[in-house]
Amino acid sequence: MTTHEPAFDLSSESPGKIALRTLVRDRRSWIASSMLLVVVALTLSAPLYASLISKTDPFVSTINGTVVLDGVEVQVLQQSTEGLKLGVNPIGPTWKIGPYFLGADNQGRDVAARLLYGGTNTLLIGFSAAALTLIVATLVGVIAGYSGRIIDSVISRILDVIWAFPVYLLSISLSVVLLTSGFKWGPLSLEAGSLYLPIFIIGLVYVPYVARPIRGQVLALREREFVKAAIGGGAKNSTIIFREILPNVIPSVLVFIPLMVSLAMLTESALSFLSIGVQPPDASWGTIIKDGLGLLYTRPIVALTPGLFIVVTAVALNLLGDAVRDALDPKARLRGAF
């Protein structure tokens, strides 16, 4: 890739515009965004798919149901014909546009439709939890880094306490407790089994991972001469934070966005796999993998497709994260090369 400046463009550019131009020129950002766009478009089309193509309600079990395939009426759940002939074998993938494109799960529900609905939930939780993490972490990091002294010590110790627990251990224990009892604190009230609970839990456990680097950056920025110059000009604290510090912190927050969405999404899938994330009959990629676990030998497609979606989305997000980082800090790429 060439990095030559166009000779005719003499207009002045802000650091942000330069980064955006670098990002637009980066092939990785195009690949990643198109992958993400496809996944998002697919998941958003879930209601359409369910009503027009699969023609089944993906949230209702059809254990004794039948379906007409190629003019023949067949049972959705058939008696197993393999091995010891124990248990039931859901209908396999038809690979034809129509009902049971990817087959049925152990409750006779259309896997393809559930996959798309599940994707909506997984992505919604991923994006919302990441947004929550980044907003809280930026706020906390800037306050801690800028105020210093006691406030900084208190905030840092609280973050340390959260950080001391492994992410999954903490989110699992929080989920187990909160999913049964719900969460009530002041005006904030989340009922048990609500979709907001995983968002809240995942958003919270990642706060220290973002807040600490931001705090460090603010600590360094606070000593920079342009901040001292603002103090020398008589600026108030709020002016310094919003005009001098925050514009220099935002790039790091931007770099965190794709990476945090990917992390939050993976955590959600893990929690849902353990039955402590999204609650049935709602679906998420994690719950579908769990559903497919028992069918791994006969109908591996049930567990594999959501896994594939998770991998594709996570790879795309990480690719985008790398591209954003390189665009905002071109030196980082050079550093990585050596």
Partner 1 sequence: MSQEILRVNNVSRIYETSGGSFGRKNKVSALDGVSFNLVHGETLGIVGESGCGKSTLGRIISRLDTPTSGEIIYKGNDIAKKSLSAMRPLRKEIQFIFQDPYASLNPRRQIGAIIEEPMRIHGMGKDERRARAHELLEKVGLDKNSYEKYPHEFSGGQRQRVVIARALTLKPELIIADEPVSALDVSIQAQVLNLFKELQDEMKLTYIFVAHDLGVVRHISDRIAVMYLGKIVELGSVEEIYNNPQHPYTKALLSANPRIDQSAKSTRQILTGDIPSPLNRPSGCSFHTRCPIAVPECSTREPELRRIGAVDVACNLVV
Nearest CB to partner 1, comparing residues 158 and 230:
230
- When binding is defined by CB under 8 A, the residue of 2, 3, 12, 64 that contacts partner 1 is 12
Beta carbons of 263 and 321 less than 8 angstroms apart: no
Q: Least separation, in Å, of the C-beta of 236 and partner 1? A: 8
Nearer to partner 1, 14 or 64 (CB): 14
Q: How many CB atoms lie within 10 A of CB 338?
A: 4
Distance of closest approach, residue 230 Cβ to partner 1, in angstroms: 7
- State which of residues 2, 3, 14, 64 lies at the interface with partner 1 (CB under 8 A): 14
Cα dihedral sign for 127, 128, 133, 138? Answer: positive
Give the x/- contact pattern for partner 1 in 227-256, rule: CB under 8 A.
-xxxxxxxxx--x---xx--xx--------
Q: Of 2 and 14, which CB lies nearer to partner 1 in the complex structure?
A: 14
Amino acid 85 reads K
Q: How far is the CB of 238 from partner 1 (least distance, A)?
A: 11
User: Do residues 121 and 193 make contact, with C-beta atoms less than 8 angstroms apart?
Assistant: no
**From residue 278, how far is each of 117, 149, 191 by CA, in Å?**
12, 41, 13
Answer whether 111's CB lies under 8 Å from 301's CB: yes
Structure tokens given for 59: 């949230």
Shortest Å distance, C-beta 160 to partner 1:
19
Using CB under 8 A as the binding criterion, the count of chain residues that bind partner 1 stands at: 22
DSSP string, 185-251: ETTEEE-TT-THHHHHHHHHHTHHHHHHHHHHHHHHHHTSHHHHHHHHTT--HHHIIIIIIHHHHHH
Nearer residue to partner 1 within complex by CB, 289 or 328? 328
- Residue closer to partner 1 (CB basis): 83 or 232: 232
- Pick from 5, 13, 82, 191 the residue near partner 1 by CB under 8 A: 13
Q: Which CB, 72 or 150, lies closer to partner 1?
A: 150
Shortest distance in whole angstroms from residue 22 CB to partner 1: 14
Rounded Cα distance, 54 and 97, in Å: 8
First to last CA, the chain: 19
Residue number, 21 or 55, with CB nearest to partner 1: 21
CB nearer to partner 1: pick between 184 and 236: 236
Alpha helices (H) along the chain: 15-25, 27-44, 46-48, 111-147, 149-164, 167-181, 196-205, 207-222, 225-232, 237-239, 246-273, 285-293, 301-328, 330-337
Within 173-202, the residues that bind partner 1 by CB under 8 A are none
Footprint on residues 197-226 left by partner 1 (CB under 8 A): 224-226
* Smallest separation (angstroms) from partner 1 to the CB of 20: 14
Mark residues 83-112: x for contact with partner 1 by CB under 8 A, - for none: ------------------------------
CB of 220 or CB of 293, closer to partner 1? 220
148 in contact with partner 1 (CB under 8 A): no
Contact 113, 50 (CB under 8 A): yes
Q: Which residues pair with 77 in a beta bridge?
A: 90
Task: Give the integer Cα–Cα distance in Å for 271 and 174.
Answer: 11
Binding site for partner 1 (CB under 8 A): 12-16, 224-226, 228-236, 239, 243-244, 247-248
